Chain A
Amino acid sequence: MTTFVIRRLVQIILVLMVVSVIIFSMAHLAPGDPALIMMGGKQSSPEVLENVRNKYHLNDPLIKQYTYWMTGVLRGDLGESYKMKQSVTDMIIGRLPLTIQLAAMSMFFTLLLAVPLGILAAVKKSTIVDHVATSLALVCLSSPVFLTGIMLILVFSYKLQWLPAFGIGNSVAENFKFMLLPSIALSLNMIALNMKMTRGSMIEIMDTQYIKTARSKGMPQNTVILKHGLKNAIIPILTVSSLQIGFLMVGTVLVEVTFGIGGLGSLIINAVKSSDYPVVQGTVLFMVTVFLLINLIVDILYAVIDPRIKY
């Protein structure tokens, strides 16, 4: 297990190095003169611009610029925002809690609803319950996050006026209310996908010989489904959930913009809009790192759940 984790960590570092090159090149391929951007579009003399270029090493060859950036990154310094003149690391740390809260709440809703619904649909296969659940899942699965977000605002904020549409609130209780719609919007897609996955996986498992054995031992229905069935079905569900972490990150970007939440997602969007490349580079690199680490954790979880998997 330890060797596996070490091997995977080395792998992650290699992947991150490649990713950092890609991110860096993309930012530098984008049109626009960083020096002009830093001046905020103000009329400036060529000397001033040249000064700025020198200060930020913009005249150095790309390889050198990349080395400056990477040495900073390794020390935990992601550079300085062109626009805000603020450390990118601090900006990320400042906005991280909101995004984590959003992601955690959606993941919570997803698991809370998707797994039980999937089990129900599987056990009641080909009945009205199954058909309703599967059709609903199809609808949720085929509507993008920004659409469901706007629909939710329309229904629950505008028409019913139950929940606020924008912002994050001032107190903890208020904050929960504000975050409810965004996390539901973000989770609908995942609920649908996870539900379908749980259903499929449970149907397959409930047909196996060891389930028949469990029944032949006289185990009650609930034990058969939850203890003997779900424990086996959870493995493919876990795989899908881990892949959805990536979806979740893209989703937070869209949802944060739709609901006016100042998390990492809106940070990226604003940075891209204003060509604030250090921020774009830093945030994207940070998200990729998180994605890779979560996948590692999921791989470790496999071994915990399934005794047949040993690293």
Chain B
Amino acid sequence: MNVNHDELIRVKGLSVKFKTDRGEAYAVRNVNFAIKPNETLGLVGESGSGKSVTAQSILKLHPSDRTKIAGEISYKGQNLLDKNEKEMQKIRGNQISMIFQDPMISLNPVIRVGEQISETIRYHKKISRKEAMEQSIRLINQVGIPFAEERYYQYPHEFSGGMLQRFMIAIALSCNPNFLIADEPTTALDVTVQAQILRLMKKLQKDFGMSILIITHNLGIVSEICDHVAVMYAGELVEISDVIPIFSNPLHPYTYGLLEAIPVLGQKHKKLKNIEGHPPNIFDHIQGCNFSPRCPFKTDICLTEKPILRQVGNLRYVACHNPLNHI
């Protein structure tokens, strides 16, 4: 990727290490990507591949005493990793917001939902209670919840998961951020509700003019709302691409495996496909390619030498010695 000045956010050489009782664990290693204004990047991978860790590093939400973050996260030209907690507080929820996987546990159970939106606005915009409340009610309407004035005073346990995710989106958008991080925003929801939430996010992205980093293991979501995709495996990026080519022409065997694992309607007597084996343990050190133990296409070099992410086309990157389809 070339340095581009209309990039909103660029993550350069991001590595995240956790100190644990069993020693240091690398959750994320040397991750690079960039997002332009109004674009959506999908970060894809199976559980434990480091997607959420990457996302939360951007807002520096990890406990600082147990986490070591290296690299650079430049947002509008400033490195977020250089900022202290106070400066980060001014950015969180204001310029960069986040929504999480499980809306049922993401809202505070003993605070009224309206107040949870209002307090964010009051803190960042320094406006009066009344104004903040009016804005919140408008937001509740905007995320598609009827009777906003009454809903404002209700508590989280009075709503369904889909409704709560709408409130989370309202909180995230309350200060008109430039960048929204959505960490598996629909994983905990019904399929029909998933579609509603995705549509809402797409619509609000246009209305508010923001970039989105969406984390998911659902490739259907990727095809629906992403402009670009980054595939992660065992804490490292293995492939970056525009959204269409990755479906028609996956380069990394892992990406191929993920696509193959999507069940196709109508293929009745076929066994569901999966990728054999498990992702490596975070404490293990693998020589060569991380994916090699599970890779059906591995060759000798894969066991000894780690492939680096290299450019193979326009906005197309892959970390593999033997990419599947040559461009």
Contacts and interface: CB of A to CB of B under 8 A. Distances in A.
A28 interface: no
Interface in A109-146: none
Nearest to B174: A217
A206 to B, nearest CB: 10
Nearest to B91: A218
Contacts, number: 77
B309 interface: no
A209 B188 CA distance: 14
A14 interface: no
Contacts of A232: 108-110
B124 interface: yes
A217 B61 contact: no
B120 A307 contact: no
Interface in A208-257: 208-210, 212-221, 223, 227-228, 231-232
Interface string B97-111: 110101001111111
Contacts of A213: 100, 106-108, 168, 171
Residue in B59, B110, B171 with the greatest tally of chain A CB atoms within 10 Å: B110
Nearest to B95: A218
Contacts of A228: 108, 111
Interface magnitude class on chain A: 20 to 34
A212 B61 contact: yes
Contacts of B89: 218-220
A231 B124 contact: no
Contacts of B114: none
Interface in B121-138: 123-124
Given A210-B108, A232-B110, A215 B102 contact: no
B157 interface: yes
Nearest to A306: B110
A307 B114 CA distance: 14
Interface of A: 208-210, 212-221, 223, 227-228, 231-232, 305-308
24 contacts: A209-B102, A209-B105, A210-B107, A212-B106, A215-B61, A215-B92, A216-B92, A216-B93, A216-B98, A217-B92, A217-B93, A217-B97, A218-B89, A218-B90, A218-B94, A218-B120, A218-B123, A219-B89, A219-B123, A220-B123, A221-B85, A227-B111, A306-B109, A308-B110
Interface of B: 59, 61, 85, 88-94, 97-98, 100, 102, 105-111, 119-120, 123-124, 155, 157, 168, 171
